Structure 1
Amino acid sequence: MSQQGDRPATTDDWWGRLYDESARDTGPAGTPDDTIDDRFDSAADTLDGGDDVPSTRTYGHAVDAIAVDDDEDDAGDDEDEDEGVGPASRPPAWRESPGGRPVTRTPAPAPAAEPAPAPEPSVPTPAPVAPAPLTPRPRAPWEPPPAAFDPTDPAADPTPPPPPAPPPAAPRDPRATDPRPPAPPPPPPTPAPAARISHVGDSPPTYEAEPTALPAADAEELDQLVADTVLDGARYGTYTLRAASLRGDSARYRGEPRRDALLTARFGAGPGALVLVAVATGARATEGAHLSAADACRWIGGAVGRSHSRLAEDIRAGRRGDLKSGLHRLTDRTYGKLRARAAELGRDPEEYTAGLRCLLLSADPDCRTRVFFGVGGGGLFRLRDGAWQDLEPLVPEPSEMRGAPVVGYGSVPTEQTPKGDRLTMDLEITKAPGPLVEEPVPPPPEPFRFRASVARPGDTLLLTSVGLAEPLRGVPALGDELAARWADGEPPGLATYLADVALRAKGYADDRTAVGVWEA
């Protein structure tokens, strides 16, 4: 209620009276010099310590932009974008708060009766100068404290303080015992592996090391072809087996088939199993030499396979005599079949024959007996303690090869017993003399070879054909190189073993077959 007794003013009347353009300002009368620009200059002097500030005309747009009750807010923002006046060029007093809303400051209202000042001419923008060193500035009361480093704040220092230096270490008493174990010494440098040579001797062999020509083939007899190289291996009990057979350099150059044949077979299972390795070499310079060698391996394999149980038992029991006589009979049967095959082909027995050498190995881990037998040339070697030993059984001279008398050649006459008794009547009939035989007596057959030995851990047994036995005996450098390669006692892989067997020597170009047995 009005104190003068008038009726109370309604909300609409109060709003109209407050914003009536004809009403006189009820605030204190301002002096002619008290304007908005003067108040802005006074506030800037207070905050900046009295330094020179830009002209009030330069920041007139910013003042209009932050007046929340002014109708020209949008126009002021557009002018900021056009003239390049952004937050970075505003005075520090109008810094934006962390919340994103501008801090508003409404200036005091100007007297209504005072006319607006005339527009001043535009002031040209001064040329850019080097910035002066920044000095710390006190924060205004209405500004919130900075939550993090602000690159626009000249008082902020982005460089972190250096870490404190560690305290100096106390001198160590040489008499004190260090509880930590001493550091192990660095391992010695591993020497680079030596390059593997492909031949021994002063000069390389005449022929190339790789195959050149294939043997001729018959469309109706393709089963008679043999491969250039055969490679096999196994491991039983305490030994590791490696076997390889390859054509010689001369046969590879001329396109001749490999005359060496190789057979590896296991008969039985478990500890009673028996492993047979047979190596055969056909007669040199004869037709079908590779076929006779294959027949010899196949027929001795069949004979051993049919008697493998008895042979395995004799080997484990160490019956040397029984083994020698039994294997001798099996070998004779094999050569009997070769002679029969030669008769079928209409050829002489000497042309269709082969040298045969075999190894019998038991699969029982407790049995280390190794049995060798055969007929013909070749080699049997053992590498023990880094040195080679030649185990080839000695062949007796022909004059020493004497057996029981043969009927008609030095035997006792059938008509007289050792006690002098005559079994038949002597009718005193004179017999005509027989024809004179001038042909030379055929040489005695190849003697049967047999050897049974007990292997030691670390031994390497090597059974070879003639093509490798001859260079091993004639070129000491070949044996030295193989001994160096197999010195560690570990069996090589199949590929490595093949490369070792193929190590060449000048003057030796025959087929090579080698069977190696490494004892664990």
Structure 2
Amino acid sequence: MSQQGGRPTGPEDDWWGQLYDDSTGDTGPASVPDSLDDRFASAAGAVGDRGVPGAGAGERAVPDPVLPAPRPGADDIMDAPRTSGPSPQRAPWEPPPARPTGPVTFPAAAKRQGPERTPPAPPTVPPPPPAPPFWPGPEAARTTAGAPPRGPTAEPGPGGTAPPAPADPPPAPPRPAGPPPTPPPSADSPPTPPRPADPPPDPPEAAFERPASSPGPRGHVGSRPPTYDAEPTALPLADPDELDDLVADTVLDGARYGSCTVRAVSVRGDSARYRGEPRRDSLLTARFGTGEQALLLVAMATGARATPGAHRAAAEACHWIGRAVGRSHVRLVEDIRAGRRGDLKSGLHRLTDRSLGKLRASAAEQGVDPEEYAAGLRCLLLPADPECRTRVFFGVGPGGLFRLRDGEWQDIEPQVGEIKGEPVVGFGSPPSETPDGDRLTMDLGIPTPPSPYEPAPEPRREPFRFRTSVARPGDTLLVCSGGLADPLRGEPELGDYLAERWSRPEPPGLAAFLADSQVRVKGYADDRTAAAVWEA
């Protein structure tokens, strides 16, 4: 070809015209037939030269197709007839053969009603390895059960037309429940491995013996459940400008020093939870000092009933007594170690009166009746020295002091008419006229506070309660407010339950102690505050 717009200068290349020239004649008909049937017959003749009996004249002999060996286990179909040699049936996943609609030059399906003839023997194939028995699906059972064997070839009818296929056989009856019946083995079929035995049925549920679980905390004791719900219902009313005045529903604390383990808890009562009132009880746990000179204080106070500021009075009473004990903890530890019972009683009595006097002074500043802004106070002193097992209790107001020894509760609350109380085991009280010990402990540098009223009102006539004792290994000392002391004295089942739970070798954890201390009793719905000491 030339450049665009140019003319060729040499002879024109005629390859395009020679390729697509219409004047070129065709090669003409071939000397042999070249139809689709002729090509198929030629290919069939190249594969084999065995003819088909009964083939018409002029037709090329077509050999029988060689069927592949059946899949191992494919002929183990329920209710299917067995013959010697490989089964001629198709596999369940193979589609059914198409029915011929016109003249063909290859063999058609054999007549099912005509006489059967023996097919030529297929080439020798080694037996397949044994395989698990084949479990036919419903489609395979429906298409193969009860059907006569199909021959591989059939003679075409007159004119080379295959006879029409018969109607489908009736559907097989439904398969019965249970495993399929095993067909009888033939002489040349490979051995079938035995079917694994079914596992034995599970024994009934009642035959199992489950170990009994350890009993957990109980919700209540007594013949009837309490009236109120076991969980908090309503929250107390809050003032956005006095959020520090809010009191938590539950306070939980604990520690371990020397030979004692302490657990302390304060829980709002059921009636206060239902009405949305704050907890009237207050709890304070504090440690003053370090090492063997440390002193543990557990203080609990209960505000007056049916007064709006009861929770504030209880909190102030705990804070005042905590400050007084903390400032004098060194002298208190020395007196506890030396067993100066008289000095301890006199000094702690003055500390308690001073704290309650400041509470009355706070009521006067707020313009509140001192009888309404009052609180009962109960305290426990525990030295951290492991060699000292002296436990000191003191307080004012209702509550309880119990000791669990050898699985039985002992009510050791000091009585109102008891002045001296039970002496410390193994220690004596020194004379009150000693020039140094008594006076130093009794004064503690605390002046008597003046009365804010003129004339001064009569103070509350609550007796001062004091007791000291030496703990034994295995004892449990319990100090509690009236919310727990009253049901312990009034419901024996509660005492039995707590004795079983708290007599174990190890003291309970915080969560277990909380659950045990709030076991409810019908008729007792006040706040509960308790502190227990386990002796190792």
Superposition TM-score tier, normalisation by shorter sequence: 0.5 to 0.7
Aligned equivalents of 1:210 and 1:511: distance in 2? 13
* 1:460 corresponds to which of 472, 476, 481: 476
Query: Which letter does structure 1 place at the counterpart of 2:500?
Result: A
Secondary structure at 1:383 match in 2: strand
Counterpart of 1:273 in structure 2: which amino acid?
A: A
Equivalent positions of 1:34-113 (< 5 A) are: none
Q: Distance in 1 between matches of 2:338 and 2:378?
A: 23
2:498 corresponds to: 482
Q: Cα 1:261–1:128, aligned 2, differ >3 Å: closer, same or farther?
A: same
| Aligned equivalent of 2:284, options 250, 263, 266 | 263
Aligned residues with identical type, % of pairs:
72
Distance 2:305 2:379 in 1: 20
Q: Partner of 1:341: helix, strand, or coil? A: helix
In 2, Cα distance between equivalents of 1:262 and 1:241: 13
Equivalence for 2:509:
493
Q: What is the CA distance between 1:354 and its match in structure 2?
A: 0.2
Secondary structure at 2:326's aligned position in 1? helix
Q: C-alpha separation between the residues in 2 aligned to 1:321 and 1:311?
A: 12
Find the aligned partners of 1:512 and 1:393 in 2 and give their Cα distance: 20
Instruction: Name which one, 1 or 2, has greater alpha-carbon Rg.
Output: 1
1:183 corresponds to = none
Shift of 1:194: 2.6
Task: Name the TM-score, length of structure 2 as normaliser.
Answer: 0.55
2:524 paired residue number: 508
Q: Match for residue 292 of structure 1?
A: 313
Is the Cα–Cα contact under 8 Å of residues 286 and 351 in structure 1 kept in the other structure? yes
1:315 equivalenced with 2:344 (yes/no) = no
* Shift in CA distance, 250/291, structure 1 to aligned 2, threshold 3 Å: same
> What secondary structure sits across from 1:338 in the alignment?
helix
Letter of the structure 2 residue corresponding to residue 267 of structure 1: F
TM-score (norm 1): 0.56
- SS for the counterpart of 2:343 is helix
Q: Measured at CA, do residues 380 and 126 of structure 1 come closer, stay the same or move farther in structure 2, by a change above 3 Å?
A: same
Alpha-carbon distance in structure 2 between the residues aligned to 1:314 and 1:132 = 106
Preserved CA contact (<8 Å) 1:267 1:274: yes
Give the CA deviation at 1:488.
Answer: 1.2
Q: Give the RMSD, CA atoms, in angstroms.
A: 3.4
Corresponding residue number in structure 1 for 2:121:
127
Q: What letter matches 1:203 in structure 2? A: R
Q: 1:209 aligns with which of 230, 252, 266?
A: 230
Pairwise CA distance, 1:125: 9.4
Residue 444 of structure 1 and its aligned partner are, at CA, apart by 5.8
Relative distance call for 1:217 and 1:269 in structure 2 (3 A) is same
Residues 217 and 516, structure 2, Cα contact 8 Å, conserved in 1: no
Identify the range of structure 1 (443-452 vs 465-474) with the bigger mean alpha-carbon deviation.
Answer: 443-452
The answer to whether the 8 Å contact 1:459/1:489 transfers is no
Q: Is the 8 A contact 2:66 2:122 kept in 1?
A: no
Distance 1:367 1:220, change over 3 A: same
Residue 484 of structure 1 deviates from its aligned partner by 1.2
SS at match of 1:253: helix
Post-superposition Cα deviations, 1:361-415, rounded to whole Å, max 9, x if no partner, equal 01001111000001000000011000000010010299xxxxxxxxxxxxxxxxx
Structure 1 position 472 matched with structure 2 position 466: no
Number of equivalences: 316
SS of 1:348's equivalent? coil
CA displacement, residues 180-233 of structure 1 (integer Å, 9 cap, x when unaligned): xxxxxxxx9964313532001111000001000000111111111110000000
Mind listing any 5+ residue stretches in structure 2 that lack a counterpart? 1-64, 69-117, 128-208, 420-456
Q: Is 1:378 matched up with 2:394?
A: no
SS of 1:196's equivalent? coil
Partners of 1:132 and 1:215 lie apart in 2 by 91
Q: Is 2:258 the counterpart of 1:237?
A: yes
Q: Provide the C-alpha distance between the structure 1 equivalents of 2:345 and 2:372, rounded to a whole number of angstroms.
A: 28
Write out aligned runs for 1:158-173 (5 A).
none
